[in-house]
Amino acid sequence: MPRSLARAASALAPFLLVFAAGLALLSTSRLGLSLWHAGAVAAVDGWAPVLLQGVRVDIATMCMVLGVAAALYLLLPAGLRARRPVHALFAGWLTLALVVPLTLELATPAFMHEYGLRPNRVFVEYLLYPQEIASTLGKGHAVSSLLTLALGVAAALLGYRLLRRRLARGGDFNSGWPLRVGLAVLVVAGSAMGIRSTLGHRPMNPALLAFSSDATVNTLPLNSFYSVAFSIRDLLRDDPGARVYDTTTPDAAVAAYMHARTGASVAASASTPVLVDHAPAYTGRPRNLVIVLEESLGAQFVGSLGGLPLTPNYDRLAARGWAFERLYATGTRSVRGIEAVISGYTPTPSQATVKRPRAQGHFFTLASVLARHGYDTTFYYGGESHFDNMRGFLLSNGFSRIVDRKDYSAPAFVGSWGVSDEDLFDHAHAEFTRLQAAGTPFLGFVFTSSNHDPFEFPDGRIRLHDTRKATRNNAAKYADYALGRFMDQALASSYADDTVFLIVADHDSRAFGRTLVPVDNFHIPGLILAPGLAPRRDERLVSQIDLGPTLLSLVGIDDPTPMIGADLTRPAGPGRALMQYDQNFAYMTDDAMVVLQPAQAPIAFVRGADGALQPQAGAPPGLVREATMHALWGTLAYEHGWHTLPEPARGDARPVTALTAARAP
């Protein structure tokens, strides 16, 4: 029996070899990433938690990919186990168990450089668009991509060859089935314990491993395979949304809180949304609305907001318009900016609603209310509008037309993400001029893309800020050039006197996780230009969700909507900003901020004399309640269908012909 046991156990040598190699690989990668962020790790006394907890995660990962395969291998009859196809199958599996984690670790530095985190849900979502990603990697990250590919292929070929030979040598043991079954049970049980990694009520997960106020440091104990696998699991399972922060507050209590806070005319119920009245600041004939959503243009690139001197055109426009000095994005992805600006929707830890099933119809957007007033509602984009389901979401929720890459007959420049911003704006300007001449009111939602990695734009347009052309700074400067060119045309056009313009970023770029929520990387530019609107620099704290109600007020639409944001045309006290950074939610006021995390107590920050946010020992209960209610609202509004417009009563909708006649010259 001891000899049979030893022979059976020795058959697991290839699995144990891969297990040890995997631990060494993942630990080495973690050490390298930690040394890259050594200052941040040392600042939170994090070396021991990062490296020791990291081994725990790596053990769980290797148990995850090897445990069941090892048990199955033990249970195979000797004759079947000795066959070459079986050797090839298990050698292939063992090779993947090493090469996939290796490839993800090689991809981690570039992703972390952009997002400040290990590959996560954002990484997974990008994989759904191989054409765009392949073009981006090929043009902007060719060297690192080729190196990753070469190392991955070399590791796969070498690993497969060695492992297949080792399996062929060790697969001839013929122990009795009771011994093999018993050993297989031990392997499965040990793997299950390794994956769970705790005897506590909850198994190990990223939230339980978080130990600091630095989001980047909190991801270092993970490995990228574990992070991606956890993200995929979250995408496939029943999504709890913001309930990861609070499971005790009844849905009705959240609805009552928001009803009272907004002064809504209708309280949310199982079948009725909260409806907030909008008494518009402008009461004349409804105006056109043009929204320019600028890709990745954070405040760090805007001269008038204290950033790099890359936006002379935005800065001069800000001097003649209503410029927001302290405007904050709700997230770090374009779809977050879309849902906030065009829908006034609060952020959640779930996918953006642009991609979620219950938002593909009867979900409120500015287009859904303006369409009832006879507006032409069109989305103008230079790339493929199917990306991130923008096309499906917008067409299902009030937009009547989509203009994207295929609709530009002879663009002057085409890059990886579509036609240049100049081509985009030229097309939109021609459309706006045509609609104005026809007397048709319009909502034009224009989304730029030139300021996107790999940063491609036409030659000869700008004086380069950086020596190398294809850089983030140069692309931001080109985006500003194209914006200025368009706005000069628009403000001199036939539709200028009938149009409200909003220029705003969707999000910042390179949102580093130096804190649980890197607030500085949520600061974005935003300004409104409208007929008769006096120039002002607005220093109130503003969120993207406040822009929708404000635009309706300036356009002259008084319909109740489910948007809970503030109409900024009205005098208001201290503002607030809502920010979602991966699984963390921040609620910031002028004086303080509360950060909600899954399975963690809320963390409070107070603003010091120097303006910086400093951790506070205890979170004020009132502010925590305020943050929790706002965090929960988006999830509940989505689940209960509260973020919608009720069907108009018969005879309420205004026909297009009536408005067309009213606006005819």
pLDDT digits (tens, 9 = 90+) for 618-644: 888 999 999 999 999 999 999 999 999
Task: Please compute the mean of the pLDDT values over residues 247-274 and round it to a whole number.
Answer: 86
Q: Tell me: do 354 and 445 sit in the same domain.
A: yes
**Does residue 170 sit in helix, strand or coil?**
helix
**315 and 412: one domain?**
yes
Measured in degrees and rounded to the nearest 5, phi and psi for residue 394 equal: -70, -40
Residues 434 and 405 in one domain: yes
Between 193 and 277, whose confidence is greater?
Answer: 193
The answer to whether position 137 is within a domain reads: yes
Percent of the chain with pLDDT over 90: 70
Does residue 663 form part of some domain?
no
The single residue listed with the structure tokens 């997002």 is 115
Q: Are residues 343 and 219 in the same domain?
A: no
- Residue at 373 is within a domain: yes
- Mean per-residue pLDDT, 89-104: 94
More reliable by pLDDT, 370 or 124: 370
| 196 & 292 share domain | no
pLDDT in tens, 212-234: 878 899 999 999 999 999 888 87
pLDDT value, residue 7: 65
CA distances from 621 to 251, 537, 594, 596, 607 (A): 19, 33, 10, 13, 17
Residue 603 is predicted with a pLDDT of 93
Residue 210 sits in the same domain as residue 258: no
User: What is d(CA 14, CA 548) in angstroms, rounded to the nearest whole number?
Assistant: 60
Residue 447 belongs to a domain: yes
What is the extent of the structural domain holding 318?
251-649
Same domain, 102 and 192: yes
The last residue of one of the domains, among 203, 237, 271, is: 237
Specify the pLDDT at position 658. Answer: 34
Percentage of the chain surpassing pLDDT 70? 94
Q: Are residues 271 and 152 in the same domain?
A: no
Could you give the number of structural domains in the chain?
2
Condensed to tens digits (0 to 9), the pLDDT of residues 173-189 reads 666 778 788 888 999 99
* Of the candidate ranges 20-29, 30-39, 134-143, 479-488, the one whose mean pLDDT is the lowest: 134-143
| Lowest pLDDT segment from 18-27, 110-119, 403-412, 556-565 | 110-119
Pairing of strands 576-581, 584-589: antiparallel
Q: Give pLDDT tens digits for 283-298.
A: 999 999 999 999 999 9
Assess if residue 246 is contained within a domain: no
* Average pLDDT taken over every residue of the chain: 90
- Give 415: exposed, middle or buried? Use CB within 10 Å, 0-12, 13-18, 19+: buried
Query: What pLDDT digit, counting tens, does each position of 436-465 carry?
Result: 999 999 999 999 999 999 999 999 999 999
Residues 7 and 123 in one domain: yes
Helices of type H across 171-223: 177-196, 206-209, 215-219
With respect to residue 662, please indicate whether it lies within any of the assigned structural domains.
Answer: no
Helix ranges (DSSP H) in 454-578: 472-491, 547-555
216 domain residue, yes or no: yes
pLDDT category, 653, cuts 50, 70, 90?
Answer: very low
Euclidean distance between CA atoms 446 and 482, whole angstroms:
13
Q: What is the DSSP string of 216-266?
A: HHHHTTS-HHHHHHHHHHHHHSPP-GGGGT-SSS-HHHHHHHHHHHHT-SB
The answer to whether the CB of 153 falls within 8 A of the CB of 147 is no
What pLDDT shows up at residue 78?
77
- Shared domain for 233 and 262, answered yes or no, is no
pLDDT tens track for 318-355: 999 999 999 999 999 999 999 999 999 999 999 999 99
Q: What is the pLDDT of residue 650?
A: 55
Answer whether residue 529 shows pLDDT above 60.
yes
Q: 301 and 214, same structural domain?
A: no
pLDDT at 1: 47
Q: Is the pLDDT of residue 656 over 60?
A: no
Predicted confidence band at 169 (pLDDT cuts at 50, 70, 90)? confident
Q: Is 503 helix (H, G, I), strand (E, B) or coil?
A: strand
- Both 524 and 411 in one domain: the answer is yes
Query: Looking at residue 11, what is its pLDDT?
Result: 77
